[in-house]
């Protein structure tokens, strides 16, 4: 049987690890998109797809190809984040921040 002190230490360690992973994911997803900036739209796999959501919101997909979970897009003006979320998008993020993670330039 675990001692209460050991159990509390293990629980604290798990909480710290989860907080670290969450902070890393938040940093990796980048900031909210700016006006006219390319965005990454992330959609669940069971949805109609990020490309369809982008088209419904009045944007146009960019890039060589769209993955099943996401697509790059541009919009005239600011990206309609609320509208894309209403269509089922999980996230809409600044694609320039994503490109920097992959070694690309803005």
pTM: 0.64
* Residue closest to 41 by CA, chosen among 75, 70, 63, 80: 70
- In this predicted structure, the answer to whether residue 54 has a pLDDT above a threshold of 80 is yes
Mean of the per-residue pLDDT values of the chain: 78
Alpha-carbon dihedral 42, 84, 38, 77, rounded to 10 degrees? -170
Mean pLDDT of 9-17: 83
Mean pLDDT of 14-41: 70
Q: How far apart, in Å, are the Cα atoms of 103 and each of 3, 27, 98, 100?
A: 47, 16, 9, 5
pLDDT of residue 48: 86
Report strand pairing: 91-94 vs 60-62.
unpaired
């Amino acid at each position: 049987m675990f001692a209460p002190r050991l159990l509390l230490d293990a629980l604290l360690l798990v909480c710290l690890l989860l907080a670290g992973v969450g902070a890393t994911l938040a940093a990796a997803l980048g900031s909210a998109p700016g006006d006219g900036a390319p965005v990454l739209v992330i959609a669940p796999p069971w949805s109609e797809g990020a490309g369809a959501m982008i088209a419904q919101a009045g944007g146009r997909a960019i890039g060589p190809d769209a993955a099943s979970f996401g697509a790059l897009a541009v919009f005239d003006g600011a990206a309609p984040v609320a509208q894309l979320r209403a269509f089922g998008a999980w996230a809409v993020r600044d694609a320039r921040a994503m490109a920097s993670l992959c070694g690309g330039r803005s």
